């Protein structure tokens, strides 16, 4: 019988999750190890985002279990299909996030807060692809970055790495 934990979202929704699934989060794993995880574990993550986090963790968990059980023979066809399934799942997952940017950025913050390195990398790459090819002014507006460079400083940076600023 798998050990279950109850996670409470910031909007007070309860998610029952297997220990193996949620232990991928270093933050929660540490809480469990420290004995701090009794009863409901309150998290500063909205229920919508937490559902996405758990979707990711379950998929990952499934993947690692499959690999452990792999006896390498007579499974060729099945295994191939599973590879495709994972890729397909990841594509679908990222398409959904690209369509709903608010969830994407919330999930990014949650993956950082819960310390899920694989998810964090996955999402950072996704956002980096959105940033690529944009002008500095556009990126600043995108992330509310204030530009406090003087024109002279800007000129110095452009001069230092001239090649990167050529079109």
Partner 1 sequence: MSESQPAKKRIKRQHDQHHLITANLPDDILEIIFSFLPIKEALRTGLLSPRFRNCWIRSRKLHFDKDFARGRSQENFITIVDKIFNVHAAPTILSLRLYFNPTGVVSIVEEWIKKCVEKGVEELDLNFVEGPNPFVIYSSYLNTNSLKILKLCHCKVFVPPKLCYLNTLVLKKVHVRPVLMKTFLENCLLLESLDISKCHTMAHMKIYAENLNKFKELRVGDCGPYTVVIDIDAPTLRLFHYSGQPVFVKFMHKLMLNDVIVNFFSFSYMRKENPVNLNDLSNVTVFSATAAFLEILVSKKGNKEFHEKPPGIRLMQLKEFQLIMEGAHFCNVYDIASFLKSCPRLEKVFIDLNEFSFACGYYWESHQKEILDKEVPGAAFECVKVVKITGFKFQKHEVELVKYVVQKARFLKNLVLVTPRNSRLNDYAEELQHYYKMFCCWKASIIGQITVFDYFEDTSSVHPQHSRLTWF
Residues forming contacts to partner 1 in the complex (CB under 8 A) are 72, 75-77, 79-80, 83, 101, 105, 108-109, 112, 120-121, 124-125, 127-128, 130-133, 136, 138-149, 153-154, 157-158, 161, 163-165
Separation of alpha carbons 60 and 52, rounded Å: 13
Write out the DSSP string of 48-84.
HHHHHHHHHHHHHHHHHHHHHH--SSS-HHHHHHHHH
CB of 125 to partner 1, least distance (A): 5
Q: Which is nearer to partner 1, 38 or 144 (CB)?
A: 144
Record the tokens describing residue 147, joined without a space: 């530009």
Phi, psi of 15 (to 5 degrees): -120, 120
DSSP state of 44: S
Residue 110 · residue 50 · CB < 8 Å: yes
Q: Which is nearer to partner 1, 35 or 167 (CB)?
A: 167
CB of 161 to partner 1, least distance (A): 5
CB of 134 to partner 1, least distance (A): 8
CB of 17 to partner 1, least distance (A): 25
List, in order, residues 6 or more apart from 135 with CB less than 8 Å away. none
Separation of alpha carbons 119 and 133, rounded Å: 24
CB of 39 to partner 1, least distance (A): 30
Q: Of 14, 45, 19, 50, whose CA–CA distance to 32 is shortest?
A: 19
């Amino acid at each position: 019988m798998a050990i279950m934990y109850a996670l409470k979202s910031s909007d007070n929704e309860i998610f029952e999750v297997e220990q193996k699934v949620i232990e991928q989060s270093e933050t929660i794993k540490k809480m469990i190890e420290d004995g701090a995880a009794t009863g409901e574990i309150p998290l500063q993550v909205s229920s919508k985002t937490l559902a996405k986090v758990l979707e990711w963790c379950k998929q990952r968990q499934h993947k690692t279990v499959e690999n452990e059980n792999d006896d390498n023979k007579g499974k060729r066809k099945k295994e191939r299909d599973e590879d495709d399934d994972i890729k397909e799942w990841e594509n679908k997952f990222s398409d959904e996030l690209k369509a709903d940017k608010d969830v994407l950025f919330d999930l990014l913050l949650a993956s950082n807060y819960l310390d899920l390195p694989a998810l964090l990398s996955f999402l950072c790459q996704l956002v980096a692809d959105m940033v690529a090819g944009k002008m500095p002014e556009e990126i600043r507006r995108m992330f509310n970055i204030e530009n406090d460079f003087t024109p002279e400083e800007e000129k110095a940076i452009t001069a230092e790495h001239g090649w990167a600023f050529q079109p």
